[in-house]
Structure 1
Amino acid sequence: MAAERFARHGTVRLAFEVFGPPGGRPLLLVQGLDSPMQWWPDGFCAALAARGFAVARYDCRDCGRSSRARPSARPGVPPYTAMDMIDDAAAVLDALGWGAAHVVGMSLGASVAIGLALRRPERVRTIVSLAGLPFGFHARDALPHLDLLGVARLARLSTRQAADYEQDIRVQAQMARMLAARSQPFDEDWARRTAERVRAAAPGDPATARRQLAAMRADDGLLRHPETVSVPLLALHGAEDPLIRPQSARVLARSVPQGRAVVLEGVGHEVPGRAWASITEEIERNAGRNLAGRHSLCGTWKP
């Protein structure tokens, strides 16, 4: 198992782990809303390392082993911003000694990856958006791409205050199941083991998701112009995503000069083991793409 290390961004401490060869192509994984880095499966990280990447995953601020936020001194104002979360990613790159990296973001993490490419373009080689929104989290930008029934189901689960350890583990595993493709077998053992690892690393805070979403929405317009992204971008999306409609990948790909979309059949809002070979192949392909020219392509992958 990779050893835990820490980066610093001002007073914020950011926990991260590294897999793969020290001289490999640098690749940064950014998880989604209130999702500690362990939700990037170890086997997935190892599969990327086997393709020659040096892989870093980290806990975004306010979750996992990274620094937790204090309440804002101003009512209604989030204690940090989307720009802070973007600069956190750059701080992890600094701690690793990476001038630039390929960046793969999941869900909210995809917005962090795109924001890093928009605000700190010299730090990003390529982007992969996994189950991401094309224009950020402000209601008017996000609503056309959300499955509101799925969002409501997840919200009911995520806002439950666990009465004890066992209930906390059970709810986390239920959330993982809810996000998975319904047409495929679900790995209950992996979900429970991961939930136990997450809990052992640091107990969760039910308010984290609200604060992270508020931070993204507060920087209105930050992510509204992906057409200015200057690096190759791959938008991967599960055909059975219960939260964000697969059309989002195609919209994002069409918005970016070097955008490409692939919809993954039999995949939800997740990175399941049966799709690792295809997903890592697509990430490697995107990393090797020519920086010149416009590529707005769509495809479908079937298990």
Structure 2
Amino acid sequence: MTVGTTRNGAVRIAFETLGPRDGRPLLLVMGLDSPMQWWPDGFCTLLAEHGFLVARFDNRDSGLSGRCLSRYTAMDMVDDEAAVLDALGWPSAHVVGASLGASLALGLAVRYPERVRTIVTLMGLPAGFGAVARQVRPFGLLRLALLTARHPATAQEDLRLQAGMARMLASPAHPFDEQWAFATARAVRAAAPGDPGAARRQLAAMGRGAGLLRRAGEVTAPLLAVQGADDPLIRPSAAAALVRQVPDAQSVLYAGMGHEIPQHLWAAIAGEIARHADRPWPAGSSTATRPVSRRV
């Protein structure tokens, strides 16, 4: 991966690229307090093999990007995405967002519609408090909150905690890749220390966006919502709920997928992203005639 940095105002944003220099631009947006290494390298390589020039980046307050102890908003985080596009010289890009990153991807499409060619959301939620409340799994959120509330005393405990969270989010339908989880956790901590307050600040920002993340109905870029049937945080119906909010969107539900991008589905999900980008839609608009939901 080629590493670079850019700035949105005073905030430094770190990013990496992989793939053919003349490839179709693809921006990956990761979730809550999750540095870019949580996009699996093998998955990124598959996307590059589909002809994408892949860019992944650290959201502010995570990884190698700058820490923001003062208040910021969801619009600031969306502008961080735009700053990465600017740094790469991309007038527009295909955008894939995971978990909280799915909301940020939708926010980019609302705030800068001309810059988003297509969107794929992974493990995303519909917009609006009521819609979100109906789609989350309270017990799963409680389990995650208890894990994140721990304060590891040693570096090894920190690695075990990160790997434990990845295990908790994974589907029980496939063997958990413990080796990959620990290797990714080590790479994350080797790049930058953790920040116990980062997740809280990012979540707070989501509520301070002047309604930006509640305007899914304004999205005009073609949307594909991907959800796992075994997601412990979000109900399987979440993708279909998002599809009902975004004009002419489509959804795919995968069995054997939790709140994760599992290796046994890398090829399938990368293929869906490529097919979604390949469809002959005009830039900035969808030509589908009705919402479509599929279970795989």
TM-score of the two chains, using structure 2 as the length reference = 0.96
1:255 aligns with 2:245: yes
Match of 1:95 in 2: 87
Q: Is the 8 A contact 1:181 1:269 kept in 2?
A: yes
Distance 2:234 2:163 in 1: 20
Distance 1:274 1:122 in 2: 34
The AA in structure 1 aligned to 2:35 is P
2:97 equivalent among 91, 105, 109:
105
Give CA deviations for 1:188-240 in whole Å, capped at 9, x if unaligned.
Answer: 00000000000101111111111001000122522223121111100000000
Match of 1:221 in 2: 211
Give CA deviations for 1:110-137 in whole Å, capped at 9, x if unaligned.
Answer: 000000000100110000010001116x
Distance 1:227 1:140 in 2: 15
The AA in structure 1 aligned to 2:12 is R
The AA in structure 2 aligned to 1:47 is L
The AA in structure 1 aligned to 2:187 is R
Q: Is the 8 A contact 2:104 2:213 kept in 1?
A: no
The AA in structure 1 aligned to 2:124 is G
Q: CA deviation at 1:258?
A: 2.5
Distance 1:147 1:260 in 2: 23
Match of 2:261 in 1: 271
The AA in structure 2 aligned to 1:153 is R
Q: CA deviation at 1:3?
A: 2.5
Distance 1:237 1:275 in 2: 12
TM-score of the two chains, using structure 1 as the length reference = 0.94
Question: What secondary structure, in the 3-state scheme, does the structure 1 residue paired with 2:212 have?
Answer: coil
Percent identity over paired residues: 57
2:178 equivalent among 161, 185, 188:
188
The AA in structure 2 aligned to 1:296 is P
Identify which range, 288-297 or 230-239, moves more after superposition: 288-297
Distance 1:295 1:116 in 2: 23
Match of 1:66 in 2: 65
Q: CA deviation at 1:69?
A: 1.0
Q: Is the 8 A contact 1:20 1:52 kept in 2?
A: yes
Match of 1:127 in 2: 119
Q: Structure 1 stretches of 5 or more lacking a match?
A: 73-78
Match of 2:50 in 1: 51
The AA in structure 2 aligned to 1:196 is R
Identify which range, 216-225 or 142-151, moves more after superposition: 216-225
Identify which range, 157-166 or 109-118, moves more after superposition: 157-166
Q: Is the 8 A contact 1:131 1:244 kept in 2?
A: yes
Distance 1:270 1:168 in 2: 20
Distance 1:174 1:263 in 2: 25
Match of 1:169 in 2: 159
Distance 1:187 1:248 in 2: 26
Question: What secondary structure, in the 3-state scheme, does the structure 1 residue paired with 2:214 have?
Answer: coil
1:297 aligns with 2:296: no
Q: CA deviation at 1:286?
A: 1.1
The AA in structure 2 aligned to 1:97 is G
Q: Structure 2 stretches of 5 or more lacking a match?
A: none
Distance 1:34 1:293 in 2: 34
Match of 1:15 in 2: 14
Distance 2:293 2:154 in 1: 46
Match of 1:142 in 2: 132
Q: CA deviation at 1:7?
A: 1.3
1:238 aligns with 2:231: no
Q: Is the 8 A contact 1:128 1:235 kept in 2?
A: yes
Distance 2:289 2:263 in 1: 32
Distance 2:26 2:290 in 1: 22
> RMSD of the alignment, in Å?
1.1
Question: What secondary structure, in the 3-state scheme, does the structure 2 residue paired with 1:252 have?
Answer: helix
Q: Is the 8 A contact 2:251 2:293 kept in 1?
A: yes
Distance 1:184 1:248 in 2: 22
Tell me the matched-pair count. 291
Question: What secondary structure, in the 3-state scheme, does the structure 2 residue paired with 1:203 have?
Answer: coil
Match of 1:178 in 2: 168
